[in-house]
Amino acid sequence: MMRVQSALVRAMLVATVALIGFNLRPFITSIGPLAGKIQQHTGLGLQGMAMLTFVPMLLMGGVAFIGPALQSAFGARRSVIAALLMICCGCALRLLSPSGWSLITTAALIGLGVAIIQAIFPGMIKREFARHVGPMMGLYSAMLMGGGALGALTAPVVSSSAGLWTVGLAWFALPATAALLLAWSFLPIDTGRSKTEGAARLLLARPRTWLLMLCFGLMNGGYTSVVAWLAPAYQERGWSAEASGGLLAVLAVSQALSALALPLFARNAPDRRPWLWFTFVMQGIGFAGLAFAPGYAALGWVIMLGCGLGGCFALMLIVALDHLSDPAQAGALSALMQGGGFLIAAAPAWLVALLHDVTGGYEAGWMGHLATVLVVATVVSRFSPGRYASAMRGVDITKQATGPLAAHCLCDANPR
C-alpha cells in the first residue's frame, strides 16, 4: 500500500512539473494571432506591440539573477507558488485591460511570475529527479512549448466565440489556477539550508557562465522574434488571424515534440554538442526559408524552425545543469544562464520591428537570426564535458571558505 501511495505521489509530482511548464508561454504566444485586434482597439504600433514581449523578457532576465537569493530567503516551494499566483492574477486582469498600457502592465506581472519559476524550477527538477534529469527537463520544456501552442491556437478561437479579444487572452488564468492547486498539494517542502547563498557571485566570475548566457540569449532571441512576428508576417501576406495563429501553433507543437524527444535521444550521451548542432541546422533551414522563400512551403519552414528552437532550448538547460553535480548550484547556474540570456533575448523582437519599419518587410530580421545561429554554433563548440570541471572550478560552495581562500579559488583555474 505504501509503495502504491508513493508511486501515486510521484506521478502527481510529474504532472505538477508538466502543468507548471505548460503555463509559462501562452501569455506571449496568444498575442501574435490577435495582433490586429489589439492594435485596432488599443492603438499600439508595431514597436508598442513589441513591448508585450520585450518587458516580460527583461523581467525574465533580471529576476533570474536574484533567483538564488529568493530561494534562500523564501524557499523554492513558496517562491514557485507565489509566482503561479502572479500568473493567475495577471491573466485574469487581462479581461479588464482594454488599453495598451494596462496590457503591458499585465504582461509585466505575468512575466515576473514566469521569471521566478524559470529561475528556480530547473534546480528543483534536478533535486527531485536526480536520475532522470534529461527526460524530466525534456518534459518540462515540451510542456512549456505545448502551452505556447495552446496560446496561439486557442486565443483567436476563444476571442471570436466570446466576441471580446480580451477573453482570448484572459482565459489562460484557468490552467494557471490548476497548476497552482497542484503545486500547493504536491511540491515537496524544502528541507535543510539552501546551498545557493553566494552562488551568483561565484558563478558570475566564471567566463563559462557568460558564454552560456550568450548562447541561450541568442537562441531565445530567435524564439521571441518568431513568436512576436510570424503571425503578423503572414497576415501581411493575406493570411487570416486563425490561419496565422494555426501556423504559430504548428511552430509550438514542433518545439514541444523536439524538446521532449531530443533529450531522450541524448540522455546517454555525455557530450550534448552533436545534438545541439543538429538543432542549429534545423534553425538555419527554417530562418533561411522565411527570409528567402516565405511564400513557399511555409509549413515546412515553420516545422524545421520549431524543431530546432525547441530541441535547443531543452538541451541548453540540460547542458547548464550538467556543469555542476549539486542540484542547488546547478540550478543557480541555470538561473543565471536564463537571466543573462533573456536580457539578450528581449531586444531582437524589437529590432525586427525596427527593421520592418525601415525595409517594409520581415525578411531582414529573419536573415539577422540566420547569422546568429552560426555564431551560437561556433560558441557551443567550446562546451566539451571534459572541461566542465575546470570551467566551474571554485564554484562548489560546500567547499568554499570565506575571505582569501574563496578569492584564490576563483582565480586559479583556466575557465576554458
Q: Tell me, what CATH number does 353's domain have? A: 1.20.1250.20
Reported as half-sphere exposure (CB side, CA atoms, 13 A), residue 30 has a value of 27
Instruction: Indicate whether 371 belongs to any domain.
Output: yes
**Cα–Cα distance measured from residue 156 to residue 164, given in angstroms and rounded to the nearest whole number:** 10
- Which tens digit of pLDDT belongs to each residue from 2-44? 565 577 888 999 999 999 999 998 998 888 788 888 888 887 8
Q: Which domain holds residue 143?
A: 12-411
**Cα–Cα distance measured from residue 363 to residue 352, given in angstroms and rounded to the nearest whole number:** 9
Distances (CA, A) of 373 to 272, 289, 300, 321: 17, 14, 18, 22
Phi then psi for residue 144, to 5 deg, are -60, -45
| Whole-number pLDDT of residue 391 | 87
Reported as half-sphere exposure (CB side, CA atoms, 13 A), residue 264 has a value of 10
**Cα–Cα distance measured from residue 348 to residue 217, given in angstroms and rounded to the nearest whole number:** 10
Instruction: Indicate whether 32 belongs to any domain.
Output: yes
Buried b or exposed e, range 374-410, using 16+ CB within 10 angstroms: eebbeebeebeeeebeebbebbbbeebeeeeebeebb
Number of domains in the chain: 1
Reference 224, options 117, 107, 347, 349; nearest CA is: 349
Instruction: Indicate whether 232 belongs to any domain.
Output: yes
Place of cell 520581415: 362
The model carries a pTM of 0.75
| Whole-number pLDDT of residue 411 | 36
Instruction: Indicate whether 4 belongs to any domain.
Output: no
One-letter identity of residue 148: G
Reference 342, options 146, 42, 64; nearest CA is: 64
| Whole-number pLDDT of residue 113 | 94
Instruction: Indicate whether 54 belongs to any domain.
Output: yes
| Whole-number pLDDT of residue 405 | 30
Helix, strand, or coil (residue 402): coil
Instruction: Indicate whether 416 belongs to any domain.
Output: no
**Cα–Cα distance measured from residue 221 to residue 348, given in angstroms and rounded to the nearest whole number:** 5
The answer to whether residues 165 and 87 touch, using CB atoms and an 8 Å cutoff, is no
**Cα–Cα distance measured from residue 415 to residue 400, given in angstroms and rounded to the nearest whole number:** 18
Instruction: Indicate whether 2 belongs to any domain.
Output: no
- Which tens digit of pLDDT belongs to each residue from 155-214? 888 988 888 888 999 999 999 999 999 999 999 887 655 555 566 778 888 999 999 999
Q: How many other CB atoms are found less than 10 A from the CB of residue 253?
A: 22
**Cα–Cα distance measured from residue 73 to residue 296, given in angstroms and rounded to the nearest whole number:** 53
Place of cell 501574435: 32
The per-residue pLDDT string of the chain (416 residues; one tens digit each, 9 = 90 and over) reads 556 557 788 899 999 999 999 999 899 888 878 888 888 888 787 777 878 877 888 888 788 777 777 877 888 899 999 999 999 999 999 988 777 888 889 999 999 999 899 888 888 888 888 888 888 888 998 898 888 878 878 888 898 888 888 899 999 999 999 999 999 999 988 765 555 556 677 888 899 999 999 999 999 899 889 988 898 889 888 888 778 878 887 888 898 889 889 988 888 888 999 999 999 999 999 999 999 998 888 899 999 999 999 999 999 999 998 998 888 788 888 888 988 888 888 788 888 988 998 998 999 999 999 999 999 999 999 999 998 988 888 775 444 433 333 333 333 334 43
Instruction: Indicate whether 3 belongs to any domain.
Output: no
Sign of CA dihedral 77, 82, 88, 94: negative
The size of the chain, in residues, is 416
DSSP 97-119: --SHHHHHHHHHHHHHHHHHHHH
**Cα–Cα distance measured from residue 97 to residue 363, given in angstroms and rounded to the nearest whole number:** 32
| Whole-number pLDDT of residue 5 | 57
> What proportions of the chain, in percent to the nearest 5, are helix, strand and coil?
80, 0, 20
